[in-house]
Structure 1
Amino acid sequence: MSAAEVKVSKAFILQNPPLAEIDLTLGSETSTFKLVEQDIPELKEGQFLVKTAYLSNDPAQRTWIQRDADAARGYIPPVRQGDIMNAIAIGKVVDSKSSNYSVGDLVLGLFRWREHSVQDEKPAAGLPVTKINAIPGIHPSIFLGAFGTTGLTAFFGLTDILKLEKGQSIVISGAAGAVGSIAVQFAKHVIGASKVVAISGTEEKVQWLKKLGADVSLNYKHPEFKKQLDDATEGFVDAYFDNVGGEILDHMLTRVKQHGRIAACGAISVYNSLDSTHLPNYAQIITNRLILQGFIVIDYLPRYAEGIAALSSALQAGKLDVKDGETLVQAKFEDIPKTWGILFEGGNTGKLVTQIASLD
């Protein structure tokens, strides 16, 4: 089908904004998402049509659809009931009335969960659409992972928030995920951390993280996990990169040195729970003068080039393994929600990407 013949696009809208658990089945009254078809409007001057090929799957998307989300407290507008689900994606320009974007351009943007979308060359709000250049021998989905927001999150979390230096020690939770796996490698091989302790949820991931450079790799599901973590952090550590929140964050408050730093990057352990996050060890922040700082990577948008340059240099120097750091799922459009749900089951290693079309 030619671009001129594309008149309708499949899309997923938010049917039931969740308070706690999400329902990723389709077609029921309780389903979180609903599959719809929407007309594609005629292009106006300055607009172009994008065919979505690769979707980024991110834990943060769960916070975007929370039923009681307060827009004034978020970093992007929440997805409301009836809205198309938001997502960063890579696509190809298949039709254009823009002087800046040509048919065939490979582009990255907030294209949402839909097959085709009309984009403006000068969007009124949100992230601009970015042209990307394929890297020979590297899959283009790297721009959703190591060279995308997840890789940049790892970079700025380590260098700006934690200010990690050569010879210092660090614990990284969610270490087999998109952000964590890059953080492990960059901390060890680029910054030169003396000890990197990686936490994940399966024995396979434990072994994989050792291959990436973790000095100690732990499974949080092991019955002796907390003792193992205490042993691995004997003498305490300089920094903690937190991707999970919950009990592990609470325990790490007792394992970071005085005046140490904690980067609060994610809280995937509690995104689908109504239970409050209890921090019995909260007083450790006060008594040990810890610095716990949350951050969002889009705060660093003006410095993205700096981060990409550092990550590219690490890749070229052989200090960053990206080929095994991705779970790429080829799926029918109808399976987008189910594939996203793999994140909350711990079923991915590295970045989870959904491919719904080819770039041919």
Structure 2
Amino acid sequence: MTSSAPRTTKQWILASKPTAAPVLSGPDATFKLQTVTLAPLKEGQLLCKVRYFSNDTGLRNFIQSTVAPERFYVPTVPIGAPMRSGVIAEVIESAMPAFKPGDLVMDFHLGTWSELVVLEGATSQPLSPLPNGLPLTHYLGAFGASGLAAYTGLKFAGGAKADDTVVISAAAGATGSMAVQIALRLMGAKRVVGIAGSDEKCAYVREVLGAHACLNYKSPTFVEDLKAATPDEVDVYFDNVGGHVLDAMLTRMKRHGTVAVCGAVSTYNSGQPMAISNWFELISMRITIRGFIMLDYMNEAPAMVAELIGAAADGKIKLQDNETVVEVGIEQQPETWMRLFSGDNQGKLITKLIV
């Protein structure tokens, strides 16, 4: 069954590719809000009302990246196309028998910044209630792309093992906060050290997430603090930020240690190439640097998500203060997303869309 009823919706499109930080207003604004008419549903598609947007730093690379589009791991967003993100949405019309109006679904990265969105049923995940009354928004964070990135980065890219010393940057963020707990409580790491951007965030990483130590990378004594916190050096570094934090970490890696690269947020809006002065450490200490994408391990995803949900139900994974939910209208979505780059959020940053 297909639908022939057109629907209109407000939708943010990419109007200009930024060379540094996205521009939110004026003639060179990165995004433009338009009212568009959605095409009728084709077989297998769903018309949905968006409830939540997933805000992720990686979306910055969807709109402009140093990587050529044909080499990027997912299709990028061309000028004039709607901005993409993960969404949780409610089905209002279905052209796929497996879904009916009222169902809640999630799409990891093919949703758009729209009030209404057409999703492919084949890539839409139906959502079931979570244990202990946990909010469904955790499907976008702890039990979604953030949790899966943390798990796959540690297990497959990093090869983390029991008794390892593991360091995690952006440790108070959506992915980092899960990586800290996965390393500690699911992988049995001997020592887990977080790195975050404020003393308050470091307190959260230690006191709530359970890290043995957490370092403020903005401190003038960061390099000395890092050395003191890793007396036995580091087996696995889970890197979310790149830049001077990665540069410092190269001096603390064990011989044959591994850096699992999840992101490089310090460079996304800089417009400048990353400067690394300790590069020869790679040769001297025979360090492995491995980039990864959690989408490569989607065949493992159901088992990993089930394990993470079970660990949260059992109290092994703490989700206290693990997400920041901002309630705004569609007009405020770009500025809400941009909060990621000023460090205003703790844990996963989610937009609850008010219509």
Category of TM-score, reference length = shorter chain: over 0.9
**How big is each residue's C-alpha offset from its partner over 1:242-293, in whole Å with a ceiling of 9 and x where there is no partner?**
0000011011111010001110111000100122111111111111111110
**Cα offset, 1:221, TM superposition:** 1.0
1:119 maps to 119
**Where do residues 9-88 of structure 1 align in structure 2 (5 Å cutoff)?**
9-25=9-25, 28-66=26-64, 70-88=68-86
Q: Secondary structure at the match of 2:111?
A: coil
Q: Secondary structure at the match of 1:53?
A: strand
1:162 maps to 158
Q: Secondary structure at the match of 1:340?
A: helix
The partner residue of 1:98 within 84, 96, 99 is 96
**Cα offset, 1:6, TM superposition:** 7.7
1:339 maps to 336
The partner residue of 2:241 within 231, 239, 244 is 244
Query: Structure 1 regions of 5+ residues with no counterpart?
Result: 123-127
Q: Distance in 1 between matches of 2:44 and 2:233?
A: 56
Q: Match for 2:307: what amino acid?
A: A
Q: Secondary structure at the match of 1:88?
A: strand
Q: Match for 2:274: what amino acid?
A: T
**How big is each residue's C-alpha offset from its partner over 1:96-143, in whole Å with a ceiling of 9 and x where there is no partner?**
232121111110112210111223435xxxxx1111112141111100
The partner residue of 2:128 within 126, 129, 133 is 133
Query: Structure 2 regions of 5+ residues with no counterpart?
Result: none
Task: Tell me if the contact between 1:107 and 1:130 (Cα under 8 Å) persists in the aligned partners.
Answer: yes
Q: Match for 2:329: what amino acid?
A: K
Task: Tell me if the contact between 1:325 and 1:349 (Cα under 8 Å) persists in the aligned partners.
Answer: yes
**Cα offset, 1:67, TM superposition:** 6.6
**Cα offset, 1:297, TM superposition:** 0.7
The partner residue of 1:151 within 147, 151, 172 is 147
Q: Match for 1:188: what amino acid?
A: L
Task: Tell me if the contact between 2:4 and 2:41 (Cα under 8 Å) persists in the aligned partners.
Answer: no
1:266 correspondence with 2:263: yes
| Structure 1 residues 37 and 237: alpha-carbon distance in aligned structure 2, compared to 1, 3 A threshold | same
**How big is each residue's C-alpha offset from its partner over 1:314-352, in whole Å with a ceiling of 9 and x where there is no partner?**
212211012420011111110000000010001110001
- For these two proteins, the number of residue pairs brought into alignment is 349
Q: Secondary structure at the match of 1:157?
A: helix
**Where do residues 198-347 of structure 1 align in structure 2 (5 Å cutoff)?**
198-211=194-207, 212-347=209-344
Task: Tell me if the contact between 2:13 and 2:81 (Cα under 8 Å) persists in the aligned partners.
Answer: yes
Q: Distance in 1 between matches of 2:112 and 2:118?
A: 11
Q: Match for 2:191: what amino acid?
A: K
**Cα offset, 1:83, TM superposition:** 0.8
Q: Match for 1:152: what amino acid?
A: L
Task: Tell me if the contact between 2:6 and 2:40 (Cα under 8 Å) persists in the aligned partners.
Answer: no
| Structure 1 residues 258 and 69: alpha-carbon distance in aligned structure 2, compared to 1, 3 A threshold | closer
**Cα offset, 1:44, TM superposition:** 4.0
Overall identity of the aligned pairs, in %: 40
- Residue range with higher mean Cα deviation, 113-122 or 282-291: 113-122
**Cα offset, 1:160, TM superposition:** 1.2
| Structure 1 residues 41 and 284: alpha-carbon distance in aligned structure 2, compared to 1, 3 A threshold | same
Q: Distance in 2 between matches of 1:236 and 1:113?
A: 43
Q: Distance in 1 between matches of 2:45 and 2:100?
A: 10
Task: Tell me if the contact between 1:57 and 1:340 (Cα under 8 Å) persists in the aligned partners.
Answer: yes
1:185 maps to 181
Task: Tell me if the contact between 2:45 and 2:96 (Cα under 8 Å) persists in the aligned partners.
Answer: yes
| Structure 1 residues 265 and 46: alpha-carbon distance in aligned structure 2, compared to 1, 3 A threshold | closer
Q: Match for 2:18: what amino acid?
A: P
**Cα offset, 1:146, TM superposition:** 0.6
Task: Tell me if the contact between 2:325 and 2:349 (Cα under 8 Å) persists in the aligned partners.
Answer: yes
Q: Distance in 2 between matches of 1:41 and 1:249?
A: 46
Q: Secondary structure at the match of 1:76?
A: coil
| Structure 1 residues 120 and 227: alpha-carbon distance in aligned structure 2, compared to 1, 3 A threshold | closer
What TM-score does the superposition give when structure 1 sets the normalisation length? 0.93
Query: Structure 1: which 4+ aligned runs deviate by more than 2 Å?
Result: 3-7, 40-48, 118-122
Task: Tell me if the contact between 1:189 and 1:213 (Cα under 8 Å) persists in the aligned partners.
Answer: no
1:125 maps to none
Q: Distance in 2 between matches of 1:335 and 1:159?
A: 37
Q: Distance in 1 between matches of 2:290 and 2:188?
A: 23
- Residue range with higher mean Cα deviation, 342-351 or 314-323: 314-323
| Structure 1 residues 105 and 221: alpha-carbon distance in aligned structure 2, compared to 1, 3 A threshold | same
Q: Secondary structure at the match of 1:206?
A: helix
Q: Distance in 2 between matches of 1:275 and 1:104?
A: 46
**Cα offset, 1:195, TM superposition:** 1.1
Task: Tell me if the contact between 2:6 and 2:39 (Cα under 8 Å) persists in the aligned partners.
Answer: no
Q: Distance in 1 between matches of 2:150 and 2:204?
A: 18
